[in-house]
Amino acid sequence: MKDILLTEDLDLDIHGGDLTIGNSDLQQQELLLINNKGNIKEFPTVGVDAFSFLQDNNTSSLLQEIRRQFSADGMEVKAINITDTGQLNIDATYGNS
Protein backbone atom coordinates (compact mmCIF):
# COMPACT_ATOMS: atom_id res chain seq x y z
CA MET A 1 0.00 0.00 0.00
CA LYS A 2 1.27 3.51 -0.78
CA ASP A 3 1.20 6.03 2.04
CA ILE A 4 3.20 8.78 3.71
CA LEU A 5 6.42 7.29 5.08
CA LEU A 6 7.90 7.83 8.51
CA THR A 7 11.53 7.85 9.66
CA GLU A 8 12.95 5.25 12.06
CA ASP A 9 12.07 7.69 14.88
CA LEU A 10 8.45 7.71 13.63
CA ASP A 11 8.68 11.33 12.45
CA LEU A 12 7.44 12.40 9.03
CA ASP A 13 10.00 11.56 6.33
CA ILE A 14 10.57 14.84 4.48
CA HIS A 15 12.97 15.27 1.55
CA GLY A 16 13.29 18.49 -0.41
CA GLY A 17 10.43 20.02 1.56
CA ASP A 18 7.98 17.29 0.53
CA LEU A 19 6.54 14.31 2.34
CA THR A 20 7.96 11.00 1.16
CA ILE A 21 5.43 8.59 -0.35
CA GLY A 22 6.15 4.89 -0.78
CA ASN A 23 5.22 1.33 0.07
CA SER A 24 4.11 1.40 3.69
CA ASP A 25 3.29 -2.27 4.38
CA LEU A 26 6.26 -2.82 6.73
CA GLN A 27 5.69 0.55 8.38
CA GLN A 28 2.05 -0.31 9.06
CA GLN A 29 3.04 -3.71 10.47
CA GLU A 30 5.53 -2.05 12.81
CA LEU A 31 2.94 0.46 14.00
CA LEU A 32 0.43 -2.30 14.71
CA LEU A 33 3.07 -4.29 16.61
CA ILE A 34 4.32 -1.49 18.86
CA ASN A 35 1.01 0.24 19.65
CA ASN A 36 -1.23 -1.11 22.35
CA LYS A 37 -4.99 -1.00 22.43
CA GLY A 38 -6.18 2.50 23.26
CA ASN A 39 -3.18 4.37 21.80
CA ILE A 40 -5.11 5.28 18.66
CA LYS A 41 -8.10 7.26 19.90
CA GLU A 42 -10.21 6.73 16.78
CA PHE A 43 -9.60 2.95 16.83
CA PRO A 44 -9.29 1.90 20.50
CA THR A 45 -9.15 -1.85 19.77
CA VAL A 46 -6.22 -1.60 17.33
CA GLY A 47 -2.74 -2.63 18.41
CA VAL A 48 -0.79 -5.75 19.38
CA ASP A 49 1.43 -4.28 22.12
CA ALA A 50 4.14 -6.83 21.34
CA PHE A 51 6.28 -5.52 24.21
CA SER A 52 3.75 -6.87 26.73
CA PHE A 53 4.43 -10.39 25.43
CA LEU A 54 8.20 -10.25 26.07
CA GLN A 55 7.98 -11.95 29.48
CA ASP A 56 5.55 -14.62 28.20
CA ASN A 57 7.11 -18.01 27.43
CA ASN A 58 4.07 -19.03 25.41
CA THR A 59 4.40 -17.27 22.05
CA SER A 60 1.19 -18.67 20.58
CA SER A 61 -0.94 -15.88 22.11
CA LEU A 62 1.36 -13.26 20.56
CA LEU A 63 1.20 -14.93 17.14
CA GLN A 64 -2.61 -15.19 17.36
CA GLU A 65 -2.93 -11.51 18.27
CA ILE A 66 -0.64 -10.45 15.41
CA ARG A 67 -2.67 -12.54 12.95
CA ARG A 68 -5.94 -11.11 14.31
CA GLN A 69 -4.75 -7.48 14.14
CA PHE A 70 -3.14 -7.78 10.71
CA SER A 71 -6.22 -9.53 9.25
CA ALA A 72 -8.53 -6.89 10.76
CA ASP A 73 -6.37 -4.21 9.10
CA GLY A 74 -6.94 -5.83 5.71
CA MET A 75 -3.72 -7.81 5.31
CA GLU A 76 -3.53 -11.29 3.88
CA VAL A 77 -1.46 -13.17 6.46
CA LYS A 78 0.42 -16.06 4.87
CA ALA A 79 2.75 -16.96 7.75
CA ILE A 80 3.84 -15.71 11.15
CA ASN A 81 6.42 -17.49 13.29
CA ILE A 82 9.17 -17.01 15.81
CA THR A 83 12.49 -18.75 15.15
CA ASP A 84 14.56 -20.60 17.75
CA THR A 85 16.72 -17.48 18.04
CA GLY A 86 13.66 -15.33 18.85
CA GLN A 87 13.33 -13.58 15.49
CA LEU A 88 9.78 -12.71 14.47
CA ASN A 89 9.07 -13.54 10.81
CA ILE A 90 5.95 -12.15 9.17
CA ASP A 91 4.69 -12.81 5.66
CA ALA A 92 1.66 -10.54 5.29
CA THR A 93 0.65 -8.02 2.65
CA TYR A 94 -2.34 -5.92 1.72
CA GLY A 95 -4.42 -7.33 -1.11
CA ASN A 96 -3.52 -4.46 -3.46
CA SER A 97 0.24 -4.51 -2.76
Which pLDDT value is given to residue 55?
78
Structure confidence at residue 96 (pLDDT): 64
Q: What is the pLDDT of residue 73?
A: 94
pLDDT in tens, 38-95: 898 999 999 998 888 877 777 899 999 999 999 999 999 999 999 988 899 999 999 8
Cα dist. 61→10, 28, 32, 57, 82 in Å? 27, 21, 16, 10, 12
